[in-house]
């Protein structure tokens, strides 16, 4: 039997180096990397496209689960700005019997914005244009991982009204099936 597969999750704001880190891990380990930004522009011409990002991310999480169950590691290069999203993705790894490695990236704010702008100028097919207002909004919305999240200690109970983190995940990402229930 091979090593336990791992779900790697890159976390951070646009421009911090998530995709670069994900590419490094993928090259070093020879594993699949799933990056929504690289799919959104070619498929829809926009970073969200009327909610399609959530649809795409749900399918990518499902693919990641299937890869983990097959015995291989996988990288979700998502950003995941809320602890709830990160807990739910960690639960996906756990139900697949895989490890979980949260890769949190943080850099100076001016450098982050400059890198995001540079990426837009040099590789617009893999990102989207962001105004100063967008950056400010993203910064206000982002909730950095806690020490407990970074060390993968106790997974807290899901939010009220949800049976499990997988139930929460299937509501958050509408194309992600309930992975804690048998497929009929």
Q: Which residue has the higher pLDDT, 68 or 42?
A: 68
Residue 50: per-residue pLDDT: 61
Mean pLDDT of the chain: 89
183 backbone dihedrals φ, ψ, rounded to 5°: -80, 130
Q: What is the pLDDT of residues 2-13, one digit of tens each?
A: 799 999 999 999
CB 119 within 8 A of CB 38: no
Mean pLDDT along residues 149-167: 92
Q: What is the pLDDT of residues 86-114, one digit of tens each?
A: 999 999 999 999 999 999 999 998 999 99
CB 81 within 8 A of CB 89: no
At residue 45, does pLDDT exceed 80? no
Domains of the chain: 6-172 (3.40.50.300)
Mean pLDDT along residues 135-155: 90
Cα(159)–Cα(165) distance, integer angstroms: 8
Cα(16)–Cα(7) distance, integer angstroms: 20
Residue 28: per-residue pLDDT: 97
Residue 49: per-residue pLDDT: 56
């Amino acid at each position: 039997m091979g090593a336990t597969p791992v779900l790697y999750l890159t976390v951070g704001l646009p421009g911090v180096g998530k995709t670069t880190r994900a590419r490094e891990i993928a090259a070093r380990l020879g594993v699949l990397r799933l990056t929504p930004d690289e799919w959104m522009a070619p498929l829809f011409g926009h970073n969200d496209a009327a909610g399609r990002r959530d649809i795409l991310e749900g399918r990518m999480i499902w693919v990641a689960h299937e890869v983990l169950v097959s015995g291989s590691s996988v990288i979700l290069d998502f950003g995941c700005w809320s602890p709830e999203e990160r807990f739910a993705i960690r639960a996906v790894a756990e139900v697949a019997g895989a490890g979980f490695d949260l890769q949190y990236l943080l850099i100076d704010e001016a450098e982050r914005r400059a890198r995001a702008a540079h990426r837009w100028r040099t590789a617009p097919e893999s990102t989207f244009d962001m105004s100063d207002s967008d950056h400010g909004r993203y910064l206000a919305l982002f909730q950095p991982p806690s020490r407990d999240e970074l060390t993968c200690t106790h997974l807290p109970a899901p939010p009220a009204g949800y049976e499990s983190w997988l139930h929460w995940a299937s509501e958050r990402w509408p194309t992600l099936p309930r992975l804690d229930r048998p497929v009929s």
